[in-house]
């Protein structure tokens, strides 16, 4: 179903995003830096189409607009804003994490250096607001546009709070499960919650409906991230495209690991080693299984997923509910 949604929405979204980026002041090299991460040009500026992400957030937003009785085209500025904001955060993330590649291409900082990449990210951030402000030119009423702006601002702050915690945890000896949940709440769930909220607000004009959708999106985002944590340890490499137990190897402080560390002193000992051998990785997985970390994490995912569907049920019914429930299901269609 995502494929049929994508067909309806994505070409219009793409056209609008290009208009927004074209509206920025044009400096040749700068223009390339903004279009490259969106997959529209190569590093030399030659047009091509590179697959860069599934545009899940704008798709969710547009579907929520339609599901709440609105015209999805009216929500295109908000959908573009959410996608541009996501891309801004990736540009800065890659600098902060020192990541050389994304989507099988060199990252922006790897090509143009860190200073220019910081600035390109800042420009992408500005473009997200340029896109959102276009709500004022659509048929959305002024109060709706101003309220969307407020939601977006709070989301940006949540993103930076989550990112702050994520970076801090790297050097923090002990991270609790609650701290971790607070981090992913900002870093991952906030933007998915905002996508659903913005879509519903534009679609319905009702803050009450939008609040139910905010909760739907937020809890879906939490479940989505926790699902990712499961894949990072127990995911099938042939499906995820990553090595087995990749999050163990990278010592990622994901939910199952933090839970395991809180339950298994033996696992704490393994994690005290400066380097992991293959045997250490296998032992870590064995210890996680011995404290039922997979069950714990699955249950945690399930709780958020149920909350998401409950909130959805409070904000919608009939066909709209069915569509969004199906979309939510599809988001989790990766095997583990």
| Binding residues among 22-61 for a second copy as defined by CB under 8 A | 24-25, 27, 29-30, 33
Category of 335 on φ-ψ map: left (φ > 0), alpha (ψ -120 to 50) or beta: beta
Binding-site string for a second copy from residue 119 to residue 158, where x marks contact by CB under 8 A and - marks none? xxxxx-xxx-xx--x--x-----xx-xx--xx-xxx-xxx
d(CA 14, CA 8): 11
The answer to whether the CB of 332 falls within 8 A of the CB of 80 is no
Residues numbered 160 to 189 that lie near a second copy (CB under 8 A) are 160-161, 163-165, 167-168, 186
* Residue whose structure tokens are 């607070």: 182
Is the CB of 102 or the CB of 161 nearer to a second copy?
A: 161
Rule CB under 8 A: say whether 118 interacts with a second copy.
Answer: yes
Report which DSSP code applies to 316: -
Closer of 122 and 302 to a second copy (Cβ): 122
Q: Which residue number, 124 or 287, has a Cβ lying nearer to a second copy?
A: 124
CB of 137 to a second copy, least distance (A): 9
Largest Cα separation within the chain, whole Å, is 61
Cβ proximity to a second copy, 165 vs 285, nearer residue:
165
Own/partner pairs, 53-56, CB within 8 angstroms, 24+ separation: 53/86, 53/103, 54/2, 55/6, 55/10, 55/13, 55/83, 56/192, 56/331
Q: Nearest 5°: phi and psi at 214?
A: -60, -45
| Residue 19 binds a second copy (CB under 8 A) | no
Question: Interface with a second copy includes 99 (CB under 8 A)?
Answer: no
Element (H, E) at 215: helix 207-234
Beta carbon of residue 169, minimum distance to a second copy (angstroms, whole number):
12
Binding-site ranges for a second copy (CB under 8 A): 24-25, 27, 29-30, 33, 92, 95-96, 114-116, 118-123, 125-127, 129-130, 133, 136, 142-143, 145-146, 149-150, 152-154, 156-161, 163-165, 167-168, 186
């Amino acid at each position: 179903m995502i494929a049929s949604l994508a067909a309806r929405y994505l070409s219009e979204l793409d056209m609008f995003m290009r208009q927004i980026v074209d509206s920025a002041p044009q400096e040749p090299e700068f223009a390339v830096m903004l279009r490259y991460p969106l997959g529209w040009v190569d590093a030399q500026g030659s047009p091509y189409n590179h697959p860069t992400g599934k545009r899940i957030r704008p798709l969710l937003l547009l579907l929520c607009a339609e599901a709440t009785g609105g015209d999805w085209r009216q929500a295109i500025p908000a959908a573009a804003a959410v996608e541009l904001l996501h891309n801004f955060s990736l540009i800065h993330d890659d600098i902060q994490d020192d990541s050389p590649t994304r989507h099988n291409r060199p990252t922006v900082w790897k090509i143009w250096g860190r200073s220019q990449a910081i600035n390109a990210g800042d420009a992408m951030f500005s473009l997200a607001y340029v896109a959102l402000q276009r709500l004022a030119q659509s048929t959305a009423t002024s109060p709706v546009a101003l309220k969307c702006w407020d939601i977006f601002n709070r989301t940006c702050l949540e993103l930076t709070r989550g990112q702050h915690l994520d970076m801090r945890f790297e050097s923090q000896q002990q991270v609790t499960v609650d701290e971790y949940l607070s981090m992913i709440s900002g870093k991952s769930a906030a933007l998915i919650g905002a996508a659903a909220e913005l879509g519903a607000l534009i679609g319905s004009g009702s803050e009450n409906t939008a609040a139910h959708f905010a909760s739907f999106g937020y809890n879906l985002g939490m479940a989505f991230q926790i699902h990712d944590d499961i894949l990072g340890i127990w995911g099938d490499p042939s499906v995820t495209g990553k090595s087995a137990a990749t999050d163990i190897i990278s010592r990622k402080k994901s939910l199952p690991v933090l839970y395991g560390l809180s339950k298994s002193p033996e696992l704490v000992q393994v994690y005290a080693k400066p380097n992991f051998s293959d045997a250490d990785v296998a032992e870590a997985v064995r210890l996680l299984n011995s404290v039922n970390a997979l069950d714990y994490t699955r249950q945690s995912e399930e709780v958020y997923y149920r909350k998401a569907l409950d909130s959805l049920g409070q904000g919608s019914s009939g066909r709209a509910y069915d569509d969004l429930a199906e979309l939510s299901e599809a988001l989790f269609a990766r095997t583990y």
